[in-house]
Amino acid sequence: MKNIMRKIIRISFLVFITFVFLAGCKSIQKKKLPPEKTCDLFFSYLNNYDYAKAKELGTEQTIKIVSFVETLSKMGGGGKIVLKDSKSELLNCEINGKEAICNYKTFTGDIQKVYLLYQKGRWLVDLRKKPE
């Protein structure tokens, strides 16, 4: 009888610890990040084929594009389709109300713009077909 109680207590404790850990991870994802950090995380997730996490940091338009890239990747044609290369350098982010533009200098010297919108209480990457 004592053995069964110990097992029940251990299992309950493990379930509790798991719940606390998962709740903590979820609150980190919902944390308000500045545009710079949002961009870096978004492209890091894309580079590592973590499309679900990348979608969490994107607008509806971005989610559609990431889903398309994910489909291509599953078919073997997606590869690493990213806007920010590994040797790019963040120059600055300009925030104008609920919009932000982060400028990156690529290894070729070109300036690459990443657009973000403030939606749902946080900054989200907005991959646009045509920048406004």
Model confidence over 85-123: pLDDT tens digits?
556 788 999 999 999 999 988 878 888 899 999 998 999
Task: Indicate if the pLDDT at residue 4 is higher than 80.
Answer: no
In this prediction, residue 13 has a pLDDT band, given cuts at 50, 70 and 90, of: very low
Rounded to a whole number of angstroms, the distance between the first and last alpha carbons of the chain is 70
Distance (Å) of CA 90 to CA 16, 23, 76: 41, 32, 31
Instruction: Indicate the average pLDDT of the chain.
Output: 78
- Structural contact between residues 30 and 122, judged by C-beta atoms closer than 8 angstroms: yes
- DSSP letter for 58, please: B
Give the C-alpha separation, 87 to 53, whole Å: 22
